[in-house]
Amino acid sequence: MSTFSVDVDTASYAIVRRGLTGGRMPPRESVRGEELSSTVFPIAYGVQIRVEFNPVRVVEYRVTGYATPMLKREDFNDDKVDAGDIGAGHTVRAIYEIAPVGAKQRQLDPLRYPQEGERAMPPSMVRSDEMGFVKLRYKLPGESNSRLIERPVRDNDAPAKLDAAPAEQRFAAAFGQRLRDENVVDGFSYRKIAELANAARGAGPEGYRAEFLRLVGMAETLGAVAQR
């Protein structure tokens, strides 16, 4: 189980406010027009997400695509905890890599003694059709008490193959791990990353996705030079 906050980069808002308060125009690069609504107009505060995996189906997991400080388990139900904010039109994707029960390739050696979630459960409590459970807690502007959304993750929620996964998930798959030289992506080349990203590129009117592909190409070239 992991609990983390969701946060929009509010640096743009802080820079603009500091400039206007000081009687001067903020720098041109401090805010982008296409990001104005998500950075200046928050629609939810204290946003936290808890992801719990079913030990009957999943033996291990790790977060691969979301960089944020993890919160304590007890923090999830505490409305006084300073969690993140989310703005209008903003989306957040947290990517997990899981090892299902019976998987041959695992990152961790099995423990000698069963943990709390691995102990035998009564048949009435076993939810074999669920891979996990997601909880989202948030506060609306002007409210001090949080609201809760809960949703199970079932087998039919998972795409049958990678090509059927959401474009945003395929677009940046494994690039950060490849840059960090993680051994779990040893067989996943920059070229493969570029192929996945290009297939999920879409229109990209702002040019950010085209720039990302150029960065992948640069990383491949630098990696090849370093190996000489």
* Residues 88, 169 within the same domain: no
Confidence of residue 139 (pLDDT cuts 50, 70, 90): very high
Query: By percentage, how much of the chain surpasses pLDDT 90?
Result: 12
pTM of the predicted structure, to 2 decimals: 0.70
* Residues 147, 164 within the same domain: no
Residue 81 belongs to domain spanning? 1-158
Query: By percentage, how much of the chain surpasses pLDDT 70?
Result: 77
Is residue 47 within 8 Å of residue 6, measured between CB atoms? Answer: yes
Would you give the DSSP letter of residue 135?
E
* Residues 33, 135 within the same domain: yes
Could you give the CA distance from residue 59 to residue 103 in angstroms, rounded to a whole number?
9
User: Which one of 158, 177, 193 terminates a domain?
Assistant: 158
User: Which one of 118, 138, 158 terminates a domain?
Assistant: 158
Mean pLDDT in the chain? 79
pLDDT at 124 over 60: no
Long-range Cβ contacts of 162-167 (<8 Å, 24+ apart): 162/196, 163/199, 166/93, 167/200, 167/202
User: Which one of 128, 158, 188 terminates a domain?
Assistant: 158
Model pLDDT for residues 54-111, shown as the tens digit of each residue: 888 888 888 876 666 677 888 888 888 877 788 877 777 778 888 888 887 777 777 7
Is residue 86 within 8 Å of residue 92, measured between CB atoms? Answer: yes
Report pLDDT for 145.
Answer: 92
